[in-house]
Structure 1
Amino acid sequence: MRRLALGRTASAIAVPLGLVAIIMLLVVPIPAWLLDLLITVNILFALVILLTTMFAKKPLDFSVFPSLLLIATLFRLGLNVASTRLVLGQGYAGEVIHAFGSVAVGGSMVIGAVVFVILVVIQFVVVTKGAERVAEVGARFTLDAMPGKQMAIDADLNSGLITEDEARRRRKEVSAEADFYGAMDGASKFVKGDAIAGIVIVLVNVLGGIIMGVLIHGQQILDAVNTYTLLTIGDGLTAQIPALLMAVSTGMIVTRSNSESELGQDAGKQLTQSRLALMIAGVAACLMALIPGMPMIPFILVGGTLIFVSTRLRRAEQNKEKEAALAEVAAKQQAPASDTPEELMEQMRVHALEVQLSPDLVDLVSGVSDDLLARVKALRRRIAMEYGVVVPPVRTRDSVDLPPSTYVIRVAGVEMGRGLAPVGKVLALGDHLDALPGTPTVEPVFQLAGKWIPAELRHAAETTGATVIDRGSVLVTHLSSVITDNAGRLLSREDVRVLTEGVKRFSPALVEELVPGLLTLAEIHRVLQGLLAEKVPINDLARIYEALSLRAKVSTDPEGLIEAARGALGPVLVSPHLDERTLRVVMIDPQLEQGMLENLRPSELGTQILISPDMITRIVESLRTAVQAAEMRGWSPVLVCAPALRPAIRRLVAPQTNGLPVLSYQEVTSADVTIETVGVVRALDSIPA
């Protein structure tokens, strides 16, 4: 443990000490042997950074790169200053610079100058310019895509696919990615400036060396030009080679997309994905060897290698096809006969919740850790925690009657939802999808316009700011919506018994007083179904049962029991509609509300308001106008009314307003929130008494 702590301390102070040493290089002369050592460290440091960028699976794995790039650039400029001081002062700057100036370019001033110019052109015109442009575009697109990525994370969290900790980790990663590309956009300017500085330093050193040789050391001008130019070129090469490595590293890191493997593995896998492409290239190389004047051996060697690799890939594909055929035959042999009584009984049984898949979608239930079955399991757990109801097991099966890429969600044998999940595609939601190929569609839950695009274009869609959702998430989100809309139907009498037994374990007196003394399980079942129909959580069963026991002593009318339970859950009903502790409401004109109260009548289906159809139409239109005006301002209002009117008004307006929440004055005032009126429902004429 002590050794680990010392290691961390050394790592923490290494960078600050290194920066101090670099600053010392700018002002303190150093001997030639130390300059040799530092130049070697500089070259190898740049090589290590280049190799690290190649082995990084995604850019954020090397998030410290922008800072290292700045440090390396400063280190390289410090070495330039130190070497210039030795070249001009002593006419000798160590063995490394001498080797690059004499050995690497053959001691020729012309060759050295040409090689140096070529390196500068490669770095400045090709690599640096390209890396700078990629970093700039990557930074802009990453920032534009941040809202869409955050929405995708929230969608996965709401559908139960990920935990809160995982969502927090993903949000942090999205933020870190934006910061990284923003830093790389600025760091690429260091590389560009380094290339320009290298050219200026070489020109200054050549001119200064000639002046020093002729005026100070008394050399002939040609001797001074030859001596100092070779030293300067050697110095420039020792600086430009690591600078070129850092420029390549910059381009590598900004063009590296997220992957599960290293660059070499990805390149090998993707370059060999087309056997036909390798075969054609190999044949073309062999044909080029037959052209008169062409060297035959290199073309035959390369072409033969490509043909050999393509034939090996063909054999591998045939082996995979044989293994798949054998596995399919074995699966058919092990499958039970479909005409046994047990199999027929299973097919006849009506399941509470069922997902049917077309045959081409069976890969969604492949059995891996992140497949549809695992996501449905997480979804059941989330709904149980949020609504207090145990969702029945979801039966998944394929159906040859469905069109390709289609799934159907059934509740008690009745189709409640249908959608598409094409194989090999993802759903992109956004406003700038026209340039992407794909099939336009409408997202089934939120009715958002989108497009099914090939999975390979996921990154391209994200760079346009679109939200990209995989097909499994689309299906699970649709399933979650169907479950919450039909939670009341999915709650069985047996579920109520199990839930009641659970309450009895920690509140036995409450349950013994309520069941069966005051209410039967059937009556409690009806109350809980009524709450779930309005998406009211029933996980606080003890509080609900307390309210029911008090109300049941007065009346066992189902509507009154439901309203009593809602009254006990007032803050719970209000909290989903709050916006920073503010509840925005649409109210009913007092005169209109008074008329509704006077025309309220009981019936077998609950209380009803006896008004004309024309009056109902005007009330609904006025309500829609008020709600739309609030939604255009980014608000999600609720309708509030008198407690006695709430059940009747909800039955009146909910089917025509897409399930607008209807709360009573008592429920709203039970929560400590700020109430803001954003609309009033009016009718042109008063309701006749």
Structure 2
Amino acid sequence: MQAIKLPGWMSGISSANSRSLAAPILIIMLLAMMILPLPAFILDLFFSFNIALSIIVLLTSLYTVKPLDFMAFPAVLLVTTMLRLALNVASTRVVLTEGHTGADAAGKVIEAFGHFLIGGNYTVGIVVFVILTIINFVVVTKGAGRIAEVGARFALDAMPGKQMAIDADLNAGLIGEADARKRRSEVSQEAEFYGAMDGASKYVRGDAVAGIMVTVINIIGGLLVGIIAHDMPFADAVKNYTLLAIGDGLVAQIPSLIISIAAGMIVSRVASDSDVGTQVIGQLFAKPQVMYITAGIIGGLGLIPGMPNLVFLLLGGGLAGAGYMLGKKAKEAAETGTAGGPAGTGGGGAAGAPAAGGGAGGTAAESEEATWNDVMAVDTLGLEVGYRLIPLVDKAQSGELLKRIKGIRKKFAQEVGFLAPPVHIRDNLELKPSAYRITLKGVEVGTGEAYNGQYLAINPGMATGTLPGLATTDPAFGLPATWIDASLRDQAQGMGFTVVDAGTVVATHLNHLITTHASELLGRGEVQSLLDHLGKESPKLIEDLVPKMLSLSALQKVLQNLLSEGVHIRDMRSIIEALAEHTAHTQDPNELTALVRIALGRAIVQQLFPGNAELSVMTLDNRLERLLMQALATGGADGAGIEPGLADTIAQQAALATQQQEALGVTPVLLVPGPLRPLLSRFLRRALPQLKVLSHAEIPETKTIRVTALVGNQ
């Protein structure tokens, strides 16, 4: 008959179903063992399996690195306890019904353990059995239960702090969502594990008590059954039933003791990257000095008359030899490290190589060779705080700055059009206690001071009066401000000041810098993510442009040009369509940027003049406009032909006109011809970042233009 081979998915389902049925089948078997009579051979088989199972559990606990690697242990503890109790019930039935037939009535296993322990003396057998039970109940199980109880309490108490630490790492960008979910799961599983172990240890303690009671009941019940029901002589009844009862109890108590030791191993070990055996050998027998001193003490005891001299001297000599071998290995390792140091460092030819390799032999053995793991990546965005500002970034201390930073990134993504890199937060003891520093690609781009517990009263230009406190300036926008106590908050708001707390000061400064340096935050990875996101809706549009018509680096440059002038890139569809239309004629990123700006004209104007049909703008005087067009023609697109005197005049008059526009409450916008826009935008951006330069082609036809100032008419 030909065998039928199941498909892979059907075999997987079959395997999964068989595993899910294992627990119900096991429980049914345990109940059946308590109710149905079992022959002696089946009892031998189950008793042997119980011993083997206990050994497997013990070895698994010894080779477990951390408790959560054996999360099923509480359930295993319950199942093994119920298995022993079921075997006790089944063997008790056989002992009481068939015990009069001989010592092998309940199987060979019980008979063998009974003969081995009793050895012809029932008193010794009973005493040894009781001692084993007391050891299991009083020492091992009680200690393991106490450790599990304390561990569960500490795990529950530490859970909020661990969860907050995970949230802080996630918000700071140190870990991802998947790692955070995994760590949260481990924290909750750890608390549940110790709580389950605390309860499961009660099963083992109850099992030890039940073992003594079952053994006593078997002896008394067996004597009564043998003498009354089977007319056995008292001596024969005592011999048979005591042997069977002690053997039955021993077969159950030895696996129980092994399981209890495994439970103690699981809950008493400290989690590390190695198992218990490696920890013990590596830490207990690691120091030659300890071995030498112990050898001297044991050897000294061996020289005292009346002591077991040979045993002590042999043991002392063995310890001394072990100490010598440990010292020899340590010396060889030190020599290897010293010899390898200069060779490894000197081969690179660096100026500091000899100093790096010429250390003392003791420290060279502990140092490791430099690897690529020593090269630390530079954080794209970083926030360093002094120690007094740590509560602002510690969620355990009600610090809300982490939530605000998360909100800043979300708002930035919604408004600007791409996701900013995570902000890596760390404390820096080199800073002033209340200072903070914001870094971009490892370089400081902003710094300031924020006083936790106080409020910053900012004068927006309309506040009246003065406030007692530390005078300063707003770190984000440079407005005059004063740090005041919390009690003056309502008074400052009544005087017209804008009052914010320390966390808001840092968050506002960070948000301003992220927005200002948006073009530097847009890397190739972010551009590719933008394309992937847009490609889900319009895959053909992306495929036709990148990289067939335009390279990824050119697209990145165009987007960076837009961001550097404050133009949002949320409308990526319009940007891609404009590029697809014009890349066949030019590949210059600057020219493509100008063409994209025209396509985004309505959005640019809406961003600068929200809800206004009439645009109040500044323009160039006709003579200045002609001069600049001539300079552009002679000096190239970079404007190198502009005379220094003319450039200084343009900067001064543009600054004056900008101040007038801001005084009127109007966004300062300079409207120029298209060819001049890139030139004047780059020229004026550094001195007047608030001034926006637009071209005539970028203004929608539906808008009305009102000229409020002329640049160059003086």
- Shorter-chain TM range is 0.5 to 0.7
Matched, 1:148 2:177: no
Which residue in 1 is equivalent to 2:223? 210
Q: What percentage of residue pairs aligned between the two structures are identical?
A: 38
**Residue in structure 1 matching 2:20, options 3, 6, 12:** 12
- The 8 Å contact of residues 160 and 378 in structure 1, kept in 2 or not, is answered as no
Distance change >3 Å, CA 61–CA 222, structure 1 → 2 = same
Counterpart CA distance in 1 for 2:257 and 2:216 is 19
Matched, 1:548 2:548: no
Counterpart CA distance in 2 for 1:236 and 1:551 is 86
- The 8 Å contact of residues 367 and 373 in structure 1, kept in 2 or not, is answered as no
Counterpart CA distance in 2 for 1:118 and 1:25 is 28
- The 8 Å contact of residues 282 and 307 in structure 1, kept in 2 or not, is answered as yes
Counterpart CA distance in 2 for 1:324 and 1:180 is 43
- The 8 Å contact of residues 54 and 263 in structure 1, kept in 2 or not, is answered as yes
Counterpart CA distance in 2 for 1:137 and 1:277 is 32
Which residue in 1 is equivalent to 2:273? 260
Which residue in 2 is equivalent to 1:672? none
**Residue in structure 1 matching 2:72, options 64, 73, 84:** 64
Matched, 1:34 2:42: yes
Counterpart CA distance in 2 for 1:41 and 1:492 is 69
| Map 1:64-213 → 2, pairs under 5 A | 64-91=72-99, 92-213=105-226
Offset from partner CA, 1:123-160 (integer Å, 9 cap, x none)? 00000100110111111111111112212222222222
- The 8 Å contact of residues 289 and 323 in structure 2, kept in 1 or not, is answered as yes
Stretch deviating more after TM superposition (14-23 or 132-141):
14-23
- The 8 Å contact of residues 107 and 230 in structure 1, kept in 2 or not, is answered as no
Which residue in 1 is equivalent to 2:236? 223
Offset from partner CA, 1:645-672 (integer Å, 9 cap, x none)? 9xxxxxxxxxxxxxxxxxxxxxxxxxxx
Counterpart CA distance in 1 for 2:62 and 2:78 is 19
Which residue in 2 is equivalent to 1:279? 292
Matched, 1:373 2:370: no
Q: Matched residue of 1:104: which SS?
A: helix
- The 8 Å contact of residues 289 and 300 in structure 1, kept in 2 or not, is answered as yes
Letter of the aligned partner of 1:234 in structure 2? G
TM-score by length of 2: 0.54
| CA radius of gyration, larger in | 2
CA positional deviation for 1:294: 2.1
- The 8 Å contact of residues 87 and 93 in structure 1, kept in 2 or not, is answered as yes
CA positional deviation for 1:539: 7.0
| Map 1:275-424 → 2, pairs under 5 A | 275-330=288-343, 332-334=345-347, 336=349, 367=371, 373=376, 376=379, 388=418
Counterpart CA distance in 1 for 2:527 and 2:231 is 106
CA positional deviation for 1:211: 1.3
Which residue in 1 is equivalent to 2:61? 53
CA positional deviation for 1:187: 0.6
Q: Matched residue of 1:29: which SS?
A: coil
Counterpart CA distance in 2 for 1:20 and 1:496 is 62
Counterpart CA distance in 2 for 1:165 and 1:210 is 65
Offset from partner CA, 1:380-436 (integer Å, 9 cap, x none)? 9x99997658889x9xxxxxx99xxxx999778769789xxxxxxxxxxxxxxxxxx
Letter of the aligned partner of 2:604 in structure 1? L
Distance change >3 Å, CA 80–CA 493, structure 1 → 2 = closer
Counterpart CA distance in 2 for 1:555 and 1:142 is 65
Distance change >3 Å, CA 89–CA 279, structure 1 → 2 = same
* CA-based RMSD: 4.8
CA positional deviation for 1:524: 6.1
- The 8 Å contact of residues 66 and 184 in structure 1, kept in 2 or not, is answered as yes
- The 8 Å contact of residues 95 and 241 in structure 2, kept in 1 or not, is answered as yes
- The 8 Å contact of residues 365 and 372 in structure 1, kept in 2 or not, is answered as no
Letter of the aligned partner of 1:43 in structure 2? I
Distance change >3 Å, CA 28–CA 374, structure 1 → 2 = farther
TM-score by length of 1: 0.56
Distance change >3 Å, CA 28–CA 391, structure 1 → 2 = closer
- The 8 Å contact of residues 389 and 539 in structure 1, kept in 2 or not, is answered as no
Distance change >3 Å, CA 183–CA 522, structure 1 → 2 = closer
Q: Matched residue of 2:118: which SS?
A: coil
- The 8 Å contact of residues 295 and 316 in structure 2, kept in 1 or not, is answered as yes
Counterpart CA distance in 2 for 1:34 and 1:281 is 51
Counterpart CA distance in 1 for 2:560 and 2:20 is 67
| Map 1:576-591 → 2, pairs under 5 A | none
Q: Matched residue of 1:235: which SS?
A: helix
- The 8 Å contact of residues 42 and 76 in structure 1, kept in 2 or not, is answered as yes
- The 8 Å contact of residues 57 and 258 in structure 1, kept in 2 or not, is answered as yes
Counterpart CA distance in 2 for 1:608 and 1:201 is 97
Distance change >3 Å, CA 79–CA 209, structure 1 → 2 = same
Distance change >3 Å, CA 121–CA 372, structure 1 → 2 = farther
Offset from partner CA, 1:629-649 (integer Å, 9 cap, x none)? xxxxxxxxxxxxxx999xxxx
Which residue in 2 is equivalent to 1:250? 263
- The 8 Å contact of residues 101 and 107 in structure 1, kept in 2 or not, is answered as no
CA positional deviation for 1:275: 3.0
CA positional deviation for 1:212: 1.7
Letter of the aligned partner of 1:255 in structure 2? S
* Structure 1: stretches of 5+ with no match in the other structure: 340-362, 395-400, 419-478, 509-519, 529-537, 558-601, 610-642, 646-689
Distance change >3 Å, CA 81–CA 374, structure 1 → 2 = farther
Distance change >3 Å, CA 497–CA 415, structure 1 → 2 = closer
Distance change >3 Å, CA 245–CA 413, structure 1 → 2 = closer
CA positional deviation for 1:302: 2.9
Counterpart CA distance in 1 for 2:93 and 2:521 is 90
Distance change >3 Å, CA 6–CA 541, structure 1 → 2 = closer
Q: Matched residue of 2:376: which SS?
A: helix
Q: Matched residue of 1:373: which SS?
A: coil
Stretch deviating more after TM superposition (219-228 or 51-60):
219-228
Letter of the aligned partner of 2:168 in structure 1? A
Distance change >3 Å, CA 232–CA 5, structure 1 → 2 = same
Letter of the aligned partner of 2:45 in structure 1? L
Q: Matched residue of 1:185: which SS?
A: helix
Letter of the aligned partner of 2:276 in structure 1? L
CA positional deviation for 1:47: 1.2
Counterpart CA distance in 2 for 1:142 and 1:277 is 35
CA positional deviation for 1:521: 9.2
Distance change >3 Å, CA 138–CA 125, structure 1 → 2 = same
- The 8 Å contact of residues 126 and 246 in structure 2, kept in 1 or not, is answered as yes
Counterpart CA distance in 1 for 2:246 and 2:240 is 10
Counterpart CA distance in 2 for 1:416 and 1:293 is 81
Letter of the aligned partner of 1:65 in structure 2? F
Counterpart CA distance in 2 for 1:186 and 1:242 is 20
Distance change >3 Å, CA 242–CA 211, structure 1 → 2 = same
Which residue in 1 is equivalent to 2:564? 525
Offset from partner CA, 1:287-322 (integer Å, 9 cap, x none)? 222222222333333333333333333233333333
| Map 1:430-441 → 2, pairs under 5 A | none
Question: With CA pairs under 8 Å and 6+ residues apart, which has the higher RCO, 1 or 2?
Answer: 1
